[in-house]
């Protein structure tokens, strides 16, 4: 019998990977937190069936929702049992440009080093991405770990995947990004005509791509971007949405024609990132398929 994997892959809930993929790949998740109307909950405890209620409450809220990173203790509670099994850990997280999650992970690693509990076997990677982009990087790392890669080798795969990753997302309004303070370079678009649909990307922080005037045009540009990804050989693709399964379905149909394959996954973005971009988001992106072999 061949030995099992020597490396565990850890991520956070903002990858929005479907539960079946998490289980299939043996991925470990750490939860961020969301607060709305004075109630804080770990995102991992919010079922997808509750998303509609959350987003309706978000729409009605004057102050919006706030989010927070996992605590150092949250990380050590996941890391410590894996280290006790003798495993190396590659921990891949939401962009440090918009969250302190990686900083909490680094602090947890240092605590475990200081306590002589094997913390030096933890490799932390800032994905400089989120949601579907983070999910693709995590899947690439998990595939490498399952094939027997050690910690540094698994980390190198994550880095190579991130270098080839590109994701776009369209949102209905900049208002949620403004309220949450995550607006980044898209700040320049505030105060412009209200009837715009911003198309953005995440390169460490939120970065504007272009503005369109209708949701139909936003979908057309997502399809155009999918064609660009296909031309670049990035045929392992994902689609994500917030409270818009119909547009996501249409984007998946277009994507199947373009890529000649099913998406690596399709998922709805949950409350932590959804608090900052709001209902109506649609996104697409991809990496080369050999990253997920």
Which of 163, 189, 220 marks a domain boundary?
Answer: 163
Tell me what pLDDT residue 126 has: 97
Nearest to 178 by CA among 191, 197, 196: 191
Residues 264 and 240: beta-carbon distance below 8 Å: no
Q: Last residue of some domain: 139, 163, 187?
A: 163
State whether 153 and 170 are in the same domain: no
- Mean pLDDT in the chain? 92
Q: Does one domain contain both 211 and 155?
A: no
Q: Please report the pLDDT score of residue 63 as a whole number.
A: 84
CB–CB of 135/263 below 8 Å?
Answer: no
- Residue found by looking up tokens 């289980």 in the block: 23
30: tokens are: 């750490």
Q: Are residues 208 and 279 part of one domain? A: yes
pLDDT score for 107 = 98
pLDDT beyond 80 at 231 = yes
- Please give the pLDDT value at position 247: 96
pLDDT on residue 176: 80
- CATH number for the domain including 111? 3.40.50.10440
Q: 205 pLDDT band (50/70/90 cuts)?
A: confident
Calculate what percentage of the chain has a pLDDT beyond 70.
93
Which is more confidently placed, 22 or 202?
22
Structural domain count, the chain: 2
Query: For 92-108, how does the pLDDT look when each residue is reduced to its tens digit (9 = 90+)?
Result: 999 999 899 999 999 99
Residue 187 clears pLDDT 80, i.e. is over it: no
pLDDT digits (tens, 9 = 90+) for 269-286: 999 999 999 999 999 999
Its sign, for the CA torsion 224, 225, 230, 232, is: positive
Containing structural domain, residue 117: 7-32+69-163
For the stretch 79-90, pLDDT in tens is 999 999 999 999
């Amino acid at each position: 019998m061949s030995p099992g994997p020597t490396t565990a892959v850890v991520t956070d809930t903002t990858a929005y990977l479907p539960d079946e993929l998490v289980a299939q790949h043996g991925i470990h998740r750490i939860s961020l937190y969301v607060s709305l109307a004075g109630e804080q909950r770990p995102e991992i405890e919010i079922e997808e069936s509750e998303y509609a209620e959350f987003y309706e409450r978000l729409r009605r809220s004057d102050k919006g929702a706030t989010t927070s990173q996992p605590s150092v203790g949250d990380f050590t509670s996941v890391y410590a049992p894996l280290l006790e099994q003798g495993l190396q850990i590659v921990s891949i997280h939401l962009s440090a440009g918009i969250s302190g999650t990686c900083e909490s992970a680094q602090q947890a690693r240092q605590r475990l080093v200081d306590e002589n509990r094997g913390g030096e076997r933890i490799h932390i990677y800032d994905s400089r991405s989120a949601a579907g982009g983070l999910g693709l990087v995590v899947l690439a790392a998990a595939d490498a770990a399952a094939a027997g890669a050690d910690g540094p080798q698994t980390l190198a795969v994550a880095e190579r995947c991130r270098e080839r990753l590109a994701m776009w997302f369209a949102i209905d309004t900049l208002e949620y990004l403004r309220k949450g303070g995550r607006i980044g370079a898209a700040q320049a678009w505030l105060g412009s005509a209200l009837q715009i649909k911003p198309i953005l990307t995440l390169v460490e922080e939120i970065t504007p791509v272009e503005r369109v005037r209708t949701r139909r045009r936003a979908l057309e540009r997502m399809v155009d971007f999918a064609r660009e990804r296909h031309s670049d050989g990035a045929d392992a693709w994902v689609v994500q949405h917030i409270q818009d399964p119909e547009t996501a379905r249409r984007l998946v149909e277009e994507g199947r024609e373009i890529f000649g394959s099913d998406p690596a996954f399709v998922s709805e973005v949950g409350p932590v990132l959804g608090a900052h971009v709001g209902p109506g988001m649609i996104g697409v992106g991809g990496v080369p398929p050999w990253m997920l072999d």
